[in-house]
Each structure stands twice: as C-alpha cells, then as structure tokens.
Chains A and B, each alone.
Chain A
Amino acid sequence: MEIRIKIQRFDPERDEAPHWRQYQVGAQPMDRVLDVLHTVRWQHDGGLAFRRSCGHGICGSDAMEINGRNRLACKELVKSLRQPITVAPMRGFRVVKDLMVDMTAFFEKYRAVRPYLMTDDAPPEKERLQSPEQRERYDDTTKCILCGACTTACPSFWANGKFLGPAAIVQAHRFLMDSRDQGAEQRAGVLNDASGVWRCRTIFNCTDACPRGIQVTKAIGDVKKLLVARSASPDGPPARAQRAGGPPSA
C-alpha cells in the first residue's frame, strides 16, 4: 500500500522555522509509523533525524506527535491512521533537529523527585518485605518508560516549562506509595511547589497520551492528596501512616 506522510522538518543550522514536508512511500499494512520513518530516511531523505532504540515500545525513545496526538512511533500501525499521517516532534521541548528534541530539562526534573528508594532503616537481613496489597498501590506507576509523551501532551507544561510535568510526578508516585520508602519529606519540597503538582489542572491529556496505559492523572491526584494529608497531619509526614499494617512476616 502507498502511504502519504507529512513530517515536520527543522534543521537549526539551515531553517529559520519548522516546515512540513510530504513523502509518498510504499508500506505493508502491518507496518508501524517507525517503519515508514525508516523507509523515508533510508530511501528518500537521509537527512531525516529521529530517535529510536528498541523499536518495540519498551525504551521510550520514539515518542512523537502522530496525527495530533502523542504516541510511540513503534506502536502505531499505519493502517489505523488517517492519511496523510502527520508526524511532529513533542511539544514544549527545544527541537534539536526534525523529530529529535532536547530532553535535558525533562531528565533534570526526573532526578529532582529522587526516583529511588529512600529509607533510614538499617538494611534487613534479607529482603524488605511488603504485602501484595502494599505492592499494588504503586503497581501502575512502575510501568513508566520515561518517553515524555505525557509531559508534552500537558497544556500546563506548554504554558510553563518550569512545571515538573506528569512524568516526574509519576516517578515520585512510584516511591511515595511504596510502603518501604521514607523519602516523602525530601520529595515534598519540589512536589508541593507552585511548579509542582498544583500546576496540574486535571485535563487528562497525559492519561490519554501514555503508551503504557498508566492512569497518570490519577497518580498525580494521589500525590496531591498525600501532600494535603501531610500538611494537615500534626504528627508530620504520613509516609509513616502509609506504612501502617507493616510488612508481612517472613
């Protein structure tokens, strides 16, 4: 089958502004947008720049705006898309070239929420145990692949690049809801800030954009509620309260 694809092109060394370029290429019905981008690059225009790594929806390298919505190019079948298929870089990031964006600030925000287990307890003899119910609380947010589709689908982020963004909050959620973690206090500063979770307007673009099906807006809502409970609690951070029930006995 013949595919018409319009790609937003921008080379900062040559172009003053981004522009669209249309290509007509042959494709199989089961091809994905990534396959078509490969065909364009390998057979029509070797100058086309885009990121991809695993090509199977795991690494999160090839998130881009496909037909007006953030998607992974390696997960979108061309036969299910209206033509001409439009492909543009994610919004809100500086475009390095064509579909490649600068994600430096994105990963700085990721690091700012301290996305790792923080605990003061002495290491146990074996594992730090938790019940299936305690594990379930953050199961959804373990699926994040840091592709950036949620953050760059968020109107609050387009309006203010300082906003922490859904992806970083999802990462914070993964540890805040973990019964073994005690880092709520250290993470609260960056989350409970004007550029933190409160800039979320419950728009759900992030949830719709997530290629892993994470309930992103719900995760942000969980973090908002945790911060409210923290500030309302006279006994300090409810990170301790989360630990109620305790780990299962070995």
Chain B
Amino acid sequence: MSRYRGGIGQWSWILHRVTGVGVLVFLCLHILDTALVVLGPDHYNAVIQLYRHPVFRVMEIGLFASVLFHALNGLRITILDVWVGLMRFHKPLFQLEMILFAVAMVPVTWIMLRPLLR
C-alpha cells in the first residue's frame, strides 16, 4: 500500500503516537530497573551505572525530546479543541510549537552533553 500524503497534522499526529509509545516503554523499563532495588543495592547500582554510558546519555536526550514534543503537541491539540476558532491557524500554531521545541532543546542538549565533552 502506498503512503497517504497528509499534511502537518498527519505527521504531528504520527510523531505524537511514536513519542507517546516511546515514553511509555521507557517508563516501564525504568519501573523495572528501579524495582531491582528489592534484590539488593548491588543489582540496582549495576543497572543504574548503565545510564552513565555515553550512548545512554545521548538516548536520554531523545527521551527528553520525546517528552517535550508530546507535551507541546498535546497542549496545541488541547488549545485547538477548546478554542475551535483557532483551528484555521493550526499550521502556524504547529510552527510555533516547533520553535518552542527548538528553543528548549538547544540548551538542554548542551547541558546533557557537556559532561561527555569534558
């Protein structure tokens, strides 16, 4: 089957779903690794040590990006659902969302990567 060439709304919806599932999967994993503490501090420390690995650090930026996009996009949809008249501006609103996303991502990425660059 070929791909339907929907607009910004379709792609932001797909991204909303993907980031939502991604954050949920992380949350489940995080509950599991935190639960290891019941087996003793050694197990817990060994797993938490994994998060200090550079690859995990980069993946954490992805996690932050997912949460941020999901939150901003959810806010945009909520605003549109409450103030229906704004729907005619849904494309500029998405652009504004992306600007806010970028503005938040640049310093956060720097802060999260800085320990790796030292």
Are B5's CB and A67's CB within 8 A? yes
Closest to A70 in B: B4
- Of A47-55, A123-131, A203-211, A234-242, the one contacting chain B is A203-211
Are B10's CB and A218's CB within 8 A? no
Q: Which residues of B contact A65 (CB under 8 A)?
A: 4
Q: Which residues of B contact A224 (CB under 8 A)?
A: 81
Closest chain-B Cβ to A19's Cβ sits at a distance in Å of 12
Are B13's CB and A203's CB within 8 A? yes
Question: With contacts A203-B13, A215-B88 known, is A221 near B80, CB below 8 A?
Answer: yes
Asked whether any CB of chain B lies closer than 8 Å to the CB of A144, the reply is: no
Are B87's CB and A205's CB within 8 A? no
- 8 Å CB interface, A196-250 against B: 201-205, 207-208, 215, 217-218, 221-222, 224-225
- 8 Å CB interface, A73-90 against B: 86, 88
Q: How far is the CA of A202 from the CA of B90 in the complex (A)?
A: 10
Are A218's CB and B84's CB within 8 A? yes
Q: How far is the CA of A88 from the CA of B3 in the complex (A)?
A: 11
Q: How far is the CA of A202 from the CA of B8 in the complex (A)?
A: 11
For A69, A153, A204, A224, which residue has the most chain B Cβ atoms within 10 angstroms? A204
Q: How far is the CA of A158 from the CA of B77 in the complex (A)?
A: 21
Are A68's CB and B4's CB within 8 A? yes
Are A68's CB and B2's CB within 8 A? yes
Question: With contacts A155-B13, A203-B10, A204-B90 known, is A86 near B2, CB below 8 A?
Answer: yes
Asked whether any CB of chain B lies closer than 8 Å to the CB of A174, the reply is: no
Are B80's CB and A68's CB within 8 A? no
Asked whether any CB of chain B lies closer than 8 Å to the CB of A91, the reply is: yes
For B3, B6, B8, B88, which residue has the most chain A Cβ atoms within 10 angstroms? B6
Are A205's CB and B4's CB within 8 A? yes
- 8 Å CB interface, A132-190 against B: 153, 155
Q: Which 6 A-B pairs have the closest CB atoms?
A: A204-B9, A68-B5, A221-B84, A218-B87, A205-B6, A203-B9
21 A-B residue pairs with CB within 8 Å: A68-B3, A68-B5, A69-B6, A155-B6, A201-B77, A203-B6, A203-B10, A204-B6, A204-B10, A204-B87, A204-B90, A205-B10, A207-B9, A207-B87, A215-B88, A217-B87, A221-B80, A221-B81, A221-B87, A224-B81, A225-B84
